[in-house]
Structure 1
Amino acid sequence: MNILKYTSLFLLVSILLSSCEGEMLPKPKAFLRLKYPTAQYAKVQSDCPYTFDKNELALIDPKKNCWINLEYPALNGTVHLSYIPVNGNLDKLLEDVQKLTYEHAVKADAIDPTVYENKEQNVYGMVYEVEGNAASQAQFYVTDNEKHFLTGSLYFDAIPNYDSIFPAVIYIKKDIRKLIESLEWAN
């Protein structure tokens, strides 16, 4: 009886070993690959005291007082633009933008400010790139220091899981840079 057990065990092990072909390797980690269309920009003209280039993928949702939402339905994100005339209140406007931006510091891993200056177009500002699971992934403002002040913020209509929204964040941040670089104030 023992011989039968050992023979059966030997046959079973032989079959299992002979059925494996080649070396077994672990599967590599997979990364989500999202491909967005190449951005095509067009000038936004309106009755507002500013113009800029926007990605044709973004839809304009105008609000009152020259406030605009640039909606990205395919990316589930929105850039909220708020225009405020400067009437001796520039310091207060700058303080409000910084306060709003740094309210995200609780959830953010980092907030990276970058100064923007275009003397030819009289456009000066700051872009705050927010990293981590914060509600907003970018905040910015631009001004001419005399009459005009435009602030913007990027929000996604999703739980802010930075790893998941990162490709869309990168895509829209490029559009924000283009918006700022192309911004012109009306006379």
Structure 2
Amino acid sequence: MIKKIIAFSIIISATFLNFSCKNEVLPKPSSYLRLDYPEAKYMSFENECPYTFEMNSDAIIKKETDCGFTITYPKMKATIYLTYKPVTKNINELLRDAQKLTYEHVIKADDILEQPYLNSDKKVYGMFYQVEGNAATNAQFYATDSTKNFITASVYFYAKPNYDSIMPAASYIQNDMRRLMETLKWK
């Protein structure tokens, strides 16, 4: 009986020694999906409307109504909606509507950064809004010459708003929207 107890104790001890001598197990660090997009190449977009601009050559542009356009990014499942309105002594109303559209996202947004844009040479004045958080849109802008022309633009993704997940695509398209705004010319 004592021999069985000693043999059992040796087997248990050997088992513990065998498994306890391994290296310490460390958890793997979190991994993140890396989304790289090609460097943007811009082309001039001419049309019969009273304005022109530069846009990403990888995007698809489609005319809607009254000099409004949709600029689609199929790989990113996103669309920029560009709306044109003539100014007919209603500049204050147009400005109020553009600002109201942006601030409707304040419920879901963590922060809204306003970046004024002034180009006196081209007579383009406006505001670029960068919306952070899980809002429906991550970027919007309006631009005007304050006498004849008024344009608004906003980007929407065809996905549930999750700021962390769409951040690379949102940053890429925000750069395109800034380029569009900065190259805007009135005819």
Verify same fold: TM over 0.5. Answer: yes
Which ranges of structure 1 fall in alignment gaps of 5 or more residues?
none
Q: Distance in 2 between matches of 1:35 and 1:6?
A: 59
Letter aligned with residue 152 of structure 1:
A
Q: Distance in 1 between matches of 2:105 and 2:136?
A: 7
Asked if 1:12 corresponds to 2:53, the answer is no
Aligned partner of 1:32 in structure 2 is 33
Aligned partner of 1:134 in structure 2 is 135
Cα shift readout 1:82-138 (whole Å, capped 9, x = no counterpart): 000000010000000111110000000001111000011100000111000001111
Letter aligned with residue 36 of structure 2:
K
**Following TM superposition, by how much is the alpha carbon of 1:156 offset from its aligned partner in structure 2, in angstroms?**
0.3
Q: Distance in 2 between matches of 1:89 and 1:47?
A: 23
Task: Give me the CA root mean square deviation.
Answer: 1.1
**Following TM superposition, by how much is the alpha carbon of 1:14 offset from its aligned partner in structure 2, in angstroms?**
2.4
Structure-1-length-normalised TM-score? 0.95
Aligned partner of 1:110 in structure 2 is 111
Report the 3-state secondary structure (helix = DSSP H, G, I; strand = E; otherwise coil) of the residue aligned with 1:105.
helix
Aligned partner of 2:84 in structure 1 is 83
Asked if 1:123 corresponds to 2:124, the answer is yes
| Number of equivalent positions | 184
Letter aligned with residue 42 of structure 1:
M
Letter aligned with residue 12 of structure 2:
L
Letter aligned with residue 88 of structure 1:
K
Structure 1 vs Structure 2: percent identity of aligned residues?
A: 47
Aligned partner of 1:152 in structure 2 is 153
Letter aligned with residue 140 of structure 1:
F
Report the 3-state secondary structure (helix = DSSP H, G, I; strand = E; otherwise coil) of the residue aligned with 1:37.
coil
Asked if 1:164 corresponds to 2:148, the answer is no
Which structure has the bigger radius of gyration? 2
Letter aligned with residue 9 of structure 1:
I
Report the 3-state secondary structure (helix = DSSP H, G, I; strand = E; otherwise coil) of the residue aligned with 2:138.
strand
Aligned ranges for residues 29-108 of structure 1 at < 5 Å? 29-108=30-109
Letter aligned with residue 139 of structure 1:
Q
Structure-2-length-normalised TM-score? 0.95
Cα shift readout 1:8-42 (whole Å, capped 9, x = no counterpart): 11121222234x3x553321121221100000000
Report the 3-state secondary structure (helix = DSSP H, G, I; strand = E; otherwise coil) of the residue aligned with 1:65.
coil
Q: Distance in 1 between matches of 2:174 and 2:55?
A: 12
Q: Distance in 1 between matches of 2:86 and 2:148?
A: 6
